Structure 1
Amino acid sequence: MAGSRVRWRWLALPGAALALWAVAHTGHTPAPDAAPRPSATQDAAPSARPDGAPSASPDDGATTARPDGAYEPVDCAAAVRRYAAVAGVHPQLLMAILHNEAYKPHDPALERAWQRYKPDAAFGVANMHRAAFDEVKRGRDFAARKWEELPDDRNLAVEAAAWYLHDLDRQLPAHWPAAHSRDELLALGYNAGAGNMLAFARGIAPGAQAQSYLDRLHTNWAAAKRDIAR
């Protein structure tokens, strides 16, 4: 999750609240296919950066809401395509991260209820913490938006995640000795922060939590490709 190495423990939610969410929301997550290792050359992102990035159709950024209010990462496919292009990041990576961050229910009321138990919790479908959001929005089109809006605005959550990946990418050196690809390092940076990302680039082995995040990225890679093609 952006800006923190601490994952939410949703199994610790109050039983009644989780039961109510389960009754009110249905849906399923399809089992992903075995994924190839992400690489900077596979399905490469547009080469343009923000100063010359391709523009997207205004209609291409809308998320598709489900009648029952449930959430699947594919609902954000249009927003992923749009904001990945604008930020100059790999759309498949951005979508795979949304899959990684879908380990908990993204219901606005439930997120806010949990935040009262855990004030430093993350918000939105990309699980972004307040400090990370306040940093990434500076000088951007959404600079006037507030972190508290993330649970209600999936487009904003995807946009912020895309620019967070962009900013992480700018911190990577031109070359690194480690075996990790650019996409893998950016995903690790999204989960563990820029400092750890740079340590992994230098060859430091990821810890158990970071490696678990990377393993899930690989598992979600093929599903992410399917989603952004829709």
Structure 2
Amino acid sequence: MGEPRSSRRGLALVAVVVVVAGWAASRGGHGSGSAGPAKSAAPTVSSAPESSPTGRPSPTAADQDPARFAPQVARYAEKADVDPQLLMAILYNESYKPHDPAWERAWQRIKPDAAFGVANMHKAAFDQVKQGRDFAGRDWQQLPDDPALAIEAAAWYLHDLARQLPAQRSSPYPKDELLALGYNTGPGNMDAFAQGAKPGSAAQSYLDRLHANWSTAAQALHHSR
């Protein structure tokens, strides 16, 4: 007799928990202010299991490449008046985990405050940024299924962060880097970095990945034209 279906589902969910927990432990929450200047952890690398909790094949590397979203990035970056290269580079930074609706919802059942969508946005950040916007009637739970919505929300979140940057700054970081740090660690920490606070190891790792993804982001946008 084969293994009961409920047992197989349970094992699949355990696999998701083990793998995604490794990712979550190594990344700050985006838009939540959860990774402060001094509270950081070094990133770890985990490999993905071969199948999703629904039994479907796991997303491939091509499926996860943010370059496929370049048209949406260009559109919403222009609409929100933010740098499209910054938005695209952030999507590359956020592509460290499988952005598959089944995977995201399986993890969210274990960790209710997990981030959703290709831009890894928390519910509180989404609910705040959608106020008065074209997507005000949309729900955070829709982010895993709607990459365009996730990108639009991320673009406007960067727009709002830019408005919160202090005019007088003592930081060596340029505007785009401060906005990326704000996206990763929250506006309060962004303000601290703008005033000279030193990023912790997790925030610095995020900034290092942004630098590594910067030219790749530019190429993705160029090839989409």
TM-score (norm 1): 0.76
Structure 2 runs not aligned, ≥5 long? 1-29, 36-40
Q: TM-score, normalised on structure 2?
A: 0.77
| Aligned equivalent of 1:110 | 103
Match of 1:24 in 2: 57
1:121 aligns with 2:114: yes
The residue that corresponds to 1:5 in the other structure is 34
Q: Distance in 2 between matches of 1:181 and 1:102?
A: 24
Unmatched 5+ stretches in structure 1: 30-69
Per the TM alignment, residue 176 of structure 1 is displaced from its structure 2 partner at its CA by: 1.1
Cα 1:221–1:201 change in 2 (3 A) is same
* In 2, Cα distance between equivalents of 1:9 and 1:122: 18
Secondary structure, aligned partner of 1:177: coil
| Distance in 1 separating the partners of 2:112 and 2:79 | 32
Q: Quote the sequence identity (%).
A: 58
The aligned length equals: 186
Contact 1:180 1:201 in 2 (8 A): yes
3-state SS of 2:120 partner: coil
> Shift of residue 175 of structure 1?
3.2
Pair member with larger Rg? 2
Structure with the larger helix share: 2
In 2: Cα distance, 1:205 partner to 1:4 partner: 15
Matched to 1:24, the amino acid is P
- SS of the counterpart of 1:24? coil
Deviations 1:20-74 (A, max 9, x none): 1397145337xxxxxxxxxxxxxxxxxxxxxxxxxxxxxxxxxxxxxxxx22101
Task: Report the CA distance shift for 1:27/1:20 in structure 2 as closer, same or farther (over 3 A).
Answer: closer
Provide the alpha-carbon RMSD of the alignment.
2.2
Alignment partners' CA distance in 1, 2:45 and 2:142:
21
Instruction: Provide the residue aligned with 1:38 in structure 2.
Output: none
Q: Distance in 1 between matches of 2:141 and 2:112?
A: 12
Match 1:168 to one of 134, 143, 161: 161
Mapped to 2, the partners of 1:101 and 1:138 lie a distance apart of 24
1:148 matches 2:141:
yes
